[in-house]
C-alpha cells in the first residue's frame, strides 16, 4: 500500500484546486502526491506543494484518511494546508498539472451545485470530485469553515 497525501491549500479567503490532463473535462480537485521513502506526511505535503505550484506551506492540519484501490492500492491522508496571503503567485508545473488556480467561496459554491459532468457539446463548467472522495470532503470542510 502506497501512502498518498491529498491536500487542499488555502490562503485564508480562497482555495487552490488543480487538474491533471487525464481528468474529465472541467473537473478540478485537491492536489495530491505520493510520500517518498523515509518522508513523513508533512514533508511530503510541503514538497508536493512547492513542486506542483511553487508555494510555501505555513500550516498543516490533518482531516481524515481513505483507502483508494485505483490504480494500485493507496492510502490517502487528507490535510488542509495554509499559505501566506501575501505569497500566492502560482508557478504551475505543467508536467504534473494541466492547470491550477485559486477559487473563491462563491466559485466553489457554484461548482458544488453541478450534479454531473458536462456532456460533449455542453458549455464548459467547473465541477468537483464525487461526494465519496476525500478531495470532496476537504473542499466541503473548507467551505464550511469559510461560513463560520
- 84: region left, alpha or beta (phi > 0 left; psi from -120 to 50 alpha): beta
Rg (C-alpha) for the chain, rounded Å, is 15
pTM here is 0.93
CATH of residue 24's domain is: 3.90.79.10
Which domain range does residue 105 map to? Answer: 2-147
- pLDDT (tens digit per residue) in 56-70: 999 999 999 988 777
Check whether 121 has a pLDDT greater than 80.
no
Rounded average pLDDT over 76-83 = 96
19 half-sphere exposure, CB direction, 13 A CA radius = 17
Is the per-residue pLDDT at 96 higher than 90? yes
Q: What is the pLDDT of residue 136?
A: 96
Let me know how many helices (H) and strands (E) the chain has, helices first.
3, 6
* CB atoms closer than 10 angstroms to residue 23: 16
Q: How many domains does the chain have?
A: 1
Amino acid at each position: 500500500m502506497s501512502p498518498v497525501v491529498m491536500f487542499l491549500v488555502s490562503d485564508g479567503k480562497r482555495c487552490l484546486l488543480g487538474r491533471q490532463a487525464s481528468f474529465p473535462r472541467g473537473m478540478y480537485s485537491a492536489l495530491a502526491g505520493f510520500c517518498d521513502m523515509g518522508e513523513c506526511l508533512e514533508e511530503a505535503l510541503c514538497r508536493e506543494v512547492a513542486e506542483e505550484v511553487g508555494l510555501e506551506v505555513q500550516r498543516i492540519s490533518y482531516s481524515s484518511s481513505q483507502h483508494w484501490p485505483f490504480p494500485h492500492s493507496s492510502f490517502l491522508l487528507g490535510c488542509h494546508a495554509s499559505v501566506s496571503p501575501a505569497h500566492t503567485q502560482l508557478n504551475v508545473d505543467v508536467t504534473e498539472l494541466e492547470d491550477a488556480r485559486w477559487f473563491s467561496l462563491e466559485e466553489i459554491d457554484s461548482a458544488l451545485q453541478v450534479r454531473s459532468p458536462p456532456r460533449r457539446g455542453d458549455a464548459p463548467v467547473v465541477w468537483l470530485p464525487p461526494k465519496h472522495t476525500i478531495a470532496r470532503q476537504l473542499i466541503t470542510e473548507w467551505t464550511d469553515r469559510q461560513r463560520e
